């Protein structure tokens, strides 16, 4: 993510119309990281569902961003579309990793695989 921002400096790594969604994704990702850290320390089972829900929200935002760049009205060019798609994917993978850690910690706590669906 930082690499894409660096490559586009002094410009922006994403078009203005996508920034609110990326701000939301970023906030969700930071919260997911904090939740994972809390789970590691406290092994609180309620955190598993919170991370699963955050992962779902980030998945939905990623799909929304991909729909934007593939829309016929996308006016920012191929390069910006690739940047948006890559950044969205990086955030989505980050959320997947947080949810995976939560599933593993839930297993460590209970000895049973979590019932929430994967992906």
pLDDT tens, residue by residue, 59-109: 999 999 999 999 999 999 999 999 999 999 999 999 999 989 988 888 888
Count the helices and strands in the chain (H runs, E runs).
4, 0
- By percentage, how much of the chain surpasses pLDDT 90? 55
Q: Determine the CATH number of domain 2-110.
A: 1.20.58.220
The pTM (predicted TM-score) of the whole model is 0.82
| Rounded-to-integer distance, Cα 30 and Cα 45, Å | 19
Taking the CA atoms of 101, 32, 65 and 118 in sequence, report the sign of the dihedral they define: positive
């Amino acid at each position: 993510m930082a690499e894409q921002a660096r490559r586009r400096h002094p410009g922006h790594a994403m078009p203005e119309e996508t920034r609110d969604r990326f701000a939301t994704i970023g906030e969700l990702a930071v919260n997911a990281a904090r939740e994972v850290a809390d789970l590691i320390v406290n092994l609180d089972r309620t955190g598993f569902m919170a991370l699963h829900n955050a992962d779902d929200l980030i998945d939905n935002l990623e799909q929304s961003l991909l729909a934007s760049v593939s829309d016929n009205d996308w006016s920012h060019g191929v390069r910006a579309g690739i940047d948006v798609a890559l950044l969205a994917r990086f955030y989505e993978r980050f959320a997947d990793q947080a949810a995976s850690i939560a599933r593993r910690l839930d297993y460590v706590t209970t000895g049973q695989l979590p019932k929430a669906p994967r992906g």
